[in-house]
Amino acid sequence: MYVFVVTSVPGIPGRPEVDKVDAGKVFVQWSAPVSDGNSEITHYVIHYGTADMDFKSFHKHVVTADKTSCTVSSRIRRNKEYKFAVAAENKEGVGPLSEFSEFIKTTAVWGEPVHVLS
């Protein structure tokens, strides 16, 4: 008797939530997708950009699958509005993108209060 396991890309991760915003870094967290596509999730890809960027121009930050949070600091600028989305990846490929977070505004200087925009 043979047992076949069908695998596919992972499902949609939870909508990212932004916490701990500063002038040049943003802490982002999300929940794992309900389905891993019957194949272990290997990475998460965080897509982020500003309101005036086309999605194809969004920056990407990759983290290992053992994390459902990260600090993004690459290409984060002071006093700018950003939004974030996450996709899970396994050996079959990258799954669908989560919903985008609300826009957040980074601070002008280190230590200023956070501005979450709706």
Per domain, the residue ranges of the chain are: 17-109
Residue 108 near residue 78 (C-beta atoms within 8 A)? yes
The tokens describing 109, both together, are 């200087």
Q: How many CB atoms lie within 10 A of CB 68?
A: 18
- Residue-wise pLDDT for 62-111, tens only, equals 999 999 999 999 898 888 999 999 999 999 999 999 999 999 988 776 55
- Closest listed residue to residue 83, CA positions, set 52, 44, 111: 52
**Residue labelled with tokens 């977070």:** 101
Q: What is the pTM of this model?
A: 0.86
Region 17-109: CATH code: 2.60.40.10
pLDDT in tens, 16-70: 999 888 878 899 999 999 999 999 999 999 999 998 999 999 999 999 999 999 9
